């Protein structure tokens, strides 16, 4: 027993009561977490206990089991916490809590090549048992780019052996202009920030139509309902204005292994040129000659 010394008087301070509960999550890979700087008194009760956890991959709806000595109880994890909108009949190779992940391929976009690219892939599947299957089984994805009050979008259909796709969209020319905010005008090198979001919905016969088109006809009559995921934020990209007269980069592709990149500006005999040579990681070339 600890003691608190105050004015030469020792007063006994009882240790907090801790309920030793054991947790187990069935039908899923998971981690039990411990919060950094967790309040020691948070679980000092014989009636309640809090345990944060992360569910990584689930074969079916997970069930949490809590036991204390010979006593135990269990309860399924609410479906909406581990499973999103059901866009299609997922094959057996997909886990219960599969989801769509995104990766921005162009964090900086220049006005000389105004193209935003976002890669999408399905996370949560057994690679050994996965096959592409018939076309049109995987959902479609639409990327939305917002700047001020304007919007552009681009779509793609997940598919192939890797269950991936790349969505492309073209920002409007005015988006590259100097920002309206005084802070943005002072630092033009940072570019204009554009926010990216995405939604997913089932493909119709292997094609991607806007979900608004599939839900309503021209006469206002409701058609087949298409489930759509909530709009989710991907991140942001920076749009940079290339000054007029500045030379752009020229790319020369040699087969499927080598890309040579240099300035498109005409060179004089006294100029010094820089060439960047990019080689694919899968290239089998040992050496080559550049003339």
Whether 37 is in a domain gets the answer yes
Q: Which of 20, 55, 81 is the last residue of a domain?
A: 81
What is the tally of structural domains in the chain? 3
Which residues span the domain enclosing 205?
Answer: 95-240
pLDDT score for 118: 95
pLDDT score for 72: 92
pLDDT score for 181: 54
The verdict on 230 and 276 lying in the same domain is: no
Residues 78, 33 contacting (CB under 8 angstroms): no
60-64: Cβ within 8 A, 24+ apart: 60/27, 60/96, 61/27, 61/96, 62/25, 62/26, 62/27, 62/28, 62/30, 62/96, 63/25, 63/26, 63/27, 64/23, 64/24, 64/25, 64/26
What number of other Cβ atoms are within 10 A of residue 139's Cβ? 26
Whether 76 is in a domain gets the answer yes
What does R_g of the chain's alpha carbons equal in angstroms? 28
The verdict on 224 and 256 lying in the same domain is: no
pTM beyond 0.85: no
pLDDT in tens, 185-226: 444 457 899 999 999 888 776 677 665 544 444 444 455 556
CATH no. for residue 227?
A: 2.60.40.1940
The verdict on 215 and 107 lying in the same domain is: yes
The verdict on 187 and 261 lying in the same domain is: no
pLDDT in tens, 4-38: 455 556 666 566 667 788 999 988 888 888 777 66
């Amino acid at each position: 027993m600890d003691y608190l010394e105050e004015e030469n008087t020792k007063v006994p301070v009882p240790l907090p009561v801790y309920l030793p509960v054991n947790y187990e999550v069935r039908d899923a890979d998971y981690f039990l977490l411990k919060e950094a700087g967790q309040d020691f008194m948070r679980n000092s009760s014989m009636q309640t206990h809090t345990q944060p956890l992360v569910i990584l991959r689930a074969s079916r709806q997970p069930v949490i089991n809590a036991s204390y000595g010979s006593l135990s109880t269990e309860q399924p994890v609410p479906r909406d916490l581990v499973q999103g909108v059901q866009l299609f009949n997922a094959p057996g190779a997909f886990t219960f809590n599969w989801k769509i992940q995104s990766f921005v391929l162009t964090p900086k976009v220049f006005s000389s090549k105004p193209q935003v690219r976002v890669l999408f892939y399905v996370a949560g599947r057994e690679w050994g048992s996965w096959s592409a299957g018939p076309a049109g089984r995987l959902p479609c994805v639409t990327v939305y780019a917002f700047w001020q009050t304007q919007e552009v979008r681009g779509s793609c259909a997940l598919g192939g052996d890797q269950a991936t796709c790349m969505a492309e969209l073209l920002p409007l020319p005015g988006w590259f202009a100097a920002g309206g905010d005084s802070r943005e005008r002072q630092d033009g090198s940072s570019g204009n920030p554009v926010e990216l979001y995405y939604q997913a919905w089932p493909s119709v016969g292997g094609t991607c139509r806007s979900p608004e088109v599939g839900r309503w006809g021209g006469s206002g009559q409701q058609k087949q309902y298409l489930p759509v995921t909530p709009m989710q934020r991907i991140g942001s990209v920076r749009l940079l204005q290339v000054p007029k007269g500045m030379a752009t980069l020229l790319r020369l592709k040699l087969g499927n292994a080598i890309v040579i990149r240099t300035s498109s500006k005409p060179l004089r005999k006294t100029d010094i040129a820089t060439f960047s040579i990019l080689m694919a990681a899968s290239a089998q070339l040992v050496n080559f000659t550049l003339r």
